Structure formats: structure tokens, C-alpha cells
Chain A
């Protein structure tokens, strides 16, 4: 289940990256060739970037691809189990913070409009709580040792 979810987060992210490429290319084309700069492109591309960075970051907890300093684990070798568990618990806790206060952030900015898109700022920020909740889920699964890696 989580492996399937994580794979789809990355796949969605890839679609976001390709869409962002098309949008910025269109911006250059519009200004240089059509002499009419589309005004929505900058904000739309930025919003996509927040989405896919946060979704792929959640997948990064499951796939363990995030950059970290693994010196302690290397030193402990076979006895690193408890340390890994503690790290997973910390990640789960921070994910929970991101989830809870991400919701609060979205509520707080829901009335702010993103210029040129006409959408609520909350639309740009909603991947933060979603990603936080997913991080907690992925990390808890690692703590409980149900996940094989």
C-alpha cells in the first residue's frame, strides 16, 4: 500500500515537473514570439513546484532518499537499530507538526488570493499538510518495522 502510494507521489511529481516546463516555455514563447506575456504563468509554475516538491519529499521518507548525515549509524553498524527507530519517530513527529499546523496555515490564508490566478493561497499550500501526514504514516510504518527495505 505505502509502496504503491509512494510510487504514485513520484509519478504525480513528474507530471508536475513536465507541466511546469511547458508553462515556463509558453511564457517565453508568449513574450518573445507573440509579444503578449501571459500573466498567469509565473504563479502557476510556482504553485506546481510547491506541490511536486512536497509530494516527492513525502515519497522521500518512504524511499529513504533524503540527504542526511549517517555517521552515527555507520559507527554503530549492527547495533544501529534503536537509533533508526528514534529517527523514524522524530520524522513522524515533525510530519505531524507539518500536518496540523499546515492545516492551520491553509485556514489562515484561505481568504488571500494568488494574484493572476484568482485562486486562494490555501490551494498553493495544501500539499504541506498532506505531505506532513504522509511523512508521519511512512515513518511510523518504518518504526513499527513492518516495512522491508
Chain B
């Protein structure tokens, strides 16, 4: 009954065209009332949904990306990348995949990656004749791959939630090959789609011009070096790196390139605040919605269902994957890991699945959930940042969804992709 209220209200409000954040807020509100809980609960969950330190990376990376665009830093980077891949049709798409993957890998957050790469690269890809939705489809799907490549705080959450002492080190190593394989598959898809759309080749400006462009791009390239170096050498955390990126971009834009004045600075800040509000208001309200799902024990009941259905390993993994994909369309990643790991992991281990392998499968699966409606934080962030409608993205994203699904099947049924390196590593 309460479940019907929750999903009925959500789907109705979404269909009418109410802002997504308010759909989630309203649906959870009605569900709480049906259970007999006070309405103030929905407000409290929404407020504490924004009160999360790691979420700060979202406004910071959106801000840094916008500043890089306005100060011309991103353009200098893209010019070099464009010249490098001049012979490849849709070469910028491949560059975008690589950049998003690397960014997602280091920042550990798919949404931070979509924020940073999306707000700096997407406008430039548009100027070069790439459709906005193509740029964002590539960006959001590649950002998911970063979840598999270490470091990954979601894997740490998984290890803690497993309750059986899965080694975080093993999980990190296990994610590398699946991450690279999935990334290469996405590059292939980006290339095929680019050919189909007849996207432009770059123009090679000659070696002299190339070299001078590369030199001008150095301060921009340093942004990536500073972020990665700072995180890996322990000067700052992944979340803090996003604020450092903003400060560095301001310094380079204002003092080195001298392209960033007060006007551009405040324009960037105001635009970033709008984008950040769109994304964070949804995440906040999704916290209230997730609370309702947890109260109704939806994940636990699904776990029991699988146990009753089958004890065949291939089928069990298939059913778990399908259930996680379905849950992932409604809930966000971190709460889903916490709630579903203690339910699904024992079922998987009963049929002989290695917990480290299962962790990798879960990361990719729930990562896909981040870009599927109705609750796809990364998809929404992509739409907001790229200035394209969610509808237009969804209509054109399916080749990328399909690629991720194939990768998921591959990683689920070829454990060696995850465990091969772990075994080699541990001797």
C-alpha cells in the first residue's frame, strides 16, 4: 500500500512535469504520511541530504570547469587534443571519454567528473559542431567508468558494508582491468556514433602551430597534474582538490592568461550556482525518497525473492544484476551499496561468487543506475551542465547504455577480468 503511494505519486508527478526534485520530495512526503510518520521528516531528510561534505565537489568542479571555459583554458587544451586526433572522425569524443574516465578515476565521483568535464568541454565541442547531447552522453557514460578505477570511495563503502572483511586493496586492484576494458568499449562506441552522425575531423595545423598550441596549453594541463598529484601525494583529499582546482583556475585565468576579469568571474559564479542548485536539490530530495524505500524494506524483500527463485550461479547473478539495475533507476549509489550489500552478497557467495568480483560487478551496475531515470544524478547533472533536455539525452544515449550493459555482462561472467590481476598481485 505505502509502496503504491510512493511509486504512484512519483510517476504521476514526473509525468505531469513537476521539477524532479519536488517529485521525489512530494512522493516521499505522501509515503511518510501513509505510514503515519510526521511530514517534517521529509524536510529533515532533504536538508541532511545536502549536508554532506563529499557533495561539495559538485559545485566546485562545476565552478572550476565554467571558469576554465570562460578564461579560455579549456579551449587551449581542446585545441591540442583536437590537433592530436585530427585524423579521427569525432576525435574530440574519444578525448572526452579519456578525460572523463581519468577524472572520474581520480576524483572518485562520477558526478564531479561530469561536472568538471561537462562544463569545460561540452561548450567547446558544440562550437566545433558536435551536438550537445552527444557531448553529454559521452561525458556521463565515461564518468561511470571512473568508479571502477581506483581510488574509489564507493568500494570502501562496499568493503565496510560487506561485514566480512573484503580487502579494499584487493577491490582497488580488481577494478583496474574492467575499468580499462569498459573505457575502451565506450571509445569504440563514441567513434562509431561519431561516424554515423558525420561529426567533423579536426584540422592539423602543422607542427609549428601544434607546438606553440601545446606550450600555451601547459598551465591548463597543470590543472590535471595538480589535482592528481595533490590527491596521490596526500596534500589534499579528493573533495578538497575540487576547491583547489577553482583557486588554481582563477590564478591562471587572472594572472597568467589574463583572460579572466571580475565580470567573467561573477558570471561563472552565478551560472555555477544555478547548475549546482539543480543537481544538489535533486540529490537532497532523493535522500528523502531513499529513506522511504529503506523504511519499506524494498531491497530486503528482493533479496529474499532471489533466494527462493534459483540456486544456479549464472541465473542468480543475472537476477541480482537485474534487481540492482531496477533499484538503481530509483535510488542513488551510496545508500544502495549500504542497503543491498548485506542482502545480495551472501546470496552471491552461496553460489560461489568471489566477494571481490561481486564488488566490481556491483560498482558498474550501480554506476549505470546513476545515469538512468527517474533518479539518475549523473544524467541530470549532465543535462543541466550541457544545457540539453533530459529527453534529448535519453533519446540518443542508447548506444552507450548498450555498451555499458555488454560490459556489465562481460565483467559479471568473466571473473578473471576482475580477479586475474588480484591473484597476480597477491602472488
| A14 and B17 contacting across the interface, CB-CB below 8 Å | no
B53 within 8 A of A: yes
Supposing A14-B269, A21-B60, A21-B246 touch, asked if A49 and B50 sit within 8 A by C-beta, the answer is yes
Supposing A42-B53, A72-B15, A90-B16 touch, asked if A57 and B21 sit within 8 A by C-beta, the answer is yes
Neighbour of B243 across the interface among A11, A28, A101, CB < 8 A = A28
Q: Name the interface residues of B230-276: CB closer than 8 Å to any CB of A.
A: 235-236, 240, 243-244, 246-247, 266, 269-270, 272-274, 276
Task: Write the A41-57 contact mask toward B (1 if CB under 8 angstroms, else 0).
Answer: 01001100110111011
- Residues from chain A with a CB closer than 8 A to the CB of B20 are 66-69
| A28 and B59 contacting across the interface, CB-CB below 8 Å | no
| B50 and A56 contacting across the interface, CB-CB below 8 Å | no
Neighbour of A67 across the interface among B44, B269, B383, CB < 8 A = B383
Supposing A10-B270, A66-B21, A70-B391 touch, asked if A90 and B246 sit within 8 A by C-beta, the answer is no
What residue in chain B is nearest A26 (Cβ atoms)? B243
A54 to B29, CA, bound (A): 18
| A25 and B243 contacting across the interface, CB-CB below 8 Å | yes
- Residues from chain A with a CB closer than 8 A to the CB of B56 are 20, 24, 45-46, 49
| A101 and B40 contacting across the interface, CB-CB below 8 Å | yes
Report the tally of A-B residue pairs with Cβ distances under 8 A: 176
Label chain A's interface by main secondary structure.
Answer: helix
B327 within 8 A of A: no
| A14 and B51 contacting across the interface, CB-CB below 8 Å | no
| A56 and B276 contacting across the interface, CB-CB below 8 Å | yes
A4 within 8 A of B: no
User: Whole-angstrom distance from the CB of A66 to the nearest CB of chain B?
Assistant: 4
| A57 and B277 contacting across the interface, CB-CB below 8 Å | yes
Size category of the binding interface on chain B? 35 or more
User: Whole-angstrom distance from the CB of A34 to the nearest CB of chain B?
Assistant: 13
A22 to B266, CA, bound (A): 15
A122 to B18, CA, bound (A): 28
What residue in chain A is nearest B270 (Cβ atoms)? A14
A49 to B280, CA, bound (A): 9
Neighbour of B22 across the interface among A59, A63, A94, CB < 8 A = A94
| B63 and A90 contacting across the interface, CB-CB below 8 Å | no
User: Whole-angstrom distance from the CB of A145 to the nearest CB of chain B?
Assistant: 17
What residue in chain B is nearest A60 (Cβ atoms)? B277
A54 to B22, CA, bound (A): 12
B155 within 8 A of A: no
| B391 and A69 contacting across the interface, CB-CB below 8 Å | yes
- Residues from chain B with a CB closer than 8 A to the CB of A60 are 19, 274, 277-278, 281
A108 within 8 A of B: yes
Nearest 6 pairs of A and B residues by beta carbon:
A56-B277, A66-B19, A24-B243, A14-B269, A13-B273, A101-B40
